[in-house]
Each structure stands twice: as C-alpha cells, then as structure tokens.
Amino acid sequence: MKGSFIIAGTDTNIGKTVLSALYMSVREDLSYWKPIQSGLEGETDSIVVRRISECKPERVLPEAYRLSRPLSPHLSARLDGVEIDPKQLLLPKQSGLIIETAGGVLVPINENLLQIDLMKTWALPVVIAARSSLGTINHSLLTIEALRKRDISIAGLVMIGEVNEENEKAVGYYGGIEIIGRIPPVPIMNKESLVAIYHEYFRTLTF
C-alpha cells in the first residue's frame, strides 16, 4: 500500500471530499476510495471528487456500501436493512490510494465497530481535515488524541475555511502536530483552483 493514506475529519461536513479532490488533482498516481457512502440524494462524494479533479473514471473505486440516508453509518445501514461486514471493508490491493472516511474518527460503523477501529486495521498514515473556525481546537485535539492512543500514524493536519492563524497555531502547538496545508474559500471550486491552492498552501507528503 505504498503511497496510500487516509483522510479523516474532526467532524462531519469538514471538507474531506474537497481535500480528497485536491490531492487527486495534483497527484496522477493516486486513486480514491470512499468505503461507506451515507446519503445518496444529489452527488455522492465519489462523484464530487471525480467532477472536481477531472480524473479518469477508473481512478475512483466503487464504494463498498451505499446507504440511502445521510446519517452515521450504523444508523443509516440499520434503516436500510443492511448489515455492514468489516470483511467488505478490507483495503483494495493497490498502491497510491486515498481512503476518505465516513464522518469523524469515532463514528460507529456497526454495533461493534467504530471508524477508528477500521483505521487501525488499515495501518495507513492519516491526514486530518479540520475546520478553521471556532471549535476546531477542541475537535482537533480530541481527534489527535484518539488516533495517538491507538498508535495510528498522523501525517499532518489541513485547515479548511477562512484563514485563522491563531487557531492554526494553537492546534499545531497543543497537538504537537504539523499543519501541512490549508484550503481557504474560493469563488469557483474546480481542478484549477485546487491546484493553485496546493502550490500556495501545502507541503508535499513524504510517504
């Protein structure tokens, strides 16, 4: 799984999908996988990544589970009459894979499994997506602590939203973590704008 990594958020609707699209836009050697899609109304995350990054269809892997309601996977699956089997969530056998998680790291997958338990079995470095606004310090530090408690490698953290240097400094200092990028608001979200953001605000991943 050389070159593969996980993108996990500190909360829901953080911007994990946009961050995934950014890496897909600047790295032709990467593929994208959203193991569990909760919510099928409108565009799914896989469709958004493909549209924004303008990548070839084969670079976006099919989801293992497509659940109809935009809820925590354990609840969305239950309402759909589906049982999520961890065996269906084993990593595809290929290198250069972005895995976008469902929600935050402690989101329940089924009655016996949390998202972070899956991340532990995948044994890949994690890029944390965090909002830049009020509340991010607490959410980010809790996420960092949960990952470290389970000896899950953290590659760094990306701030998403209006630039807030004080929040950024606090998360970096108290979390003992590197802020490897930021995604500010842009008028038009497309491949060109994301590539420009990457070159201005991001540090190159080294794995």
H helix or E strand, kind and range, residue 128: strand 126-131
Q: Minimal CA–CA distance to 204: which of 3, 2, 32?
A: 3
> Each residue of 108-129: b (16+ CB within 10 Å) or e?
bbeeebbbbbbbeebebbbbbb
Q: Are 72 and 80 in contact (CB under 8 A)?
A: no
Q: Using CB atoms within 10 A of its CB, is residue 9 exposed (0-12), middle (13-18) or buried (19+)?
A: buried
| 34 in active site | yes
Which residue, 53, 10, 62, is CA-closest to 30?
A: 53
Q: Which of 34, 93, 120, 191 is catalytic?
A: 34
**Residue 109 tokens, joined:** 């997958």
Separation CA 82–CA 85 (nearest Å): 9
**What whole-number distance in Å separates Cα of residue 113 and Cα of residue 74?**
9
- Hey, which residues are catalytic here? 34
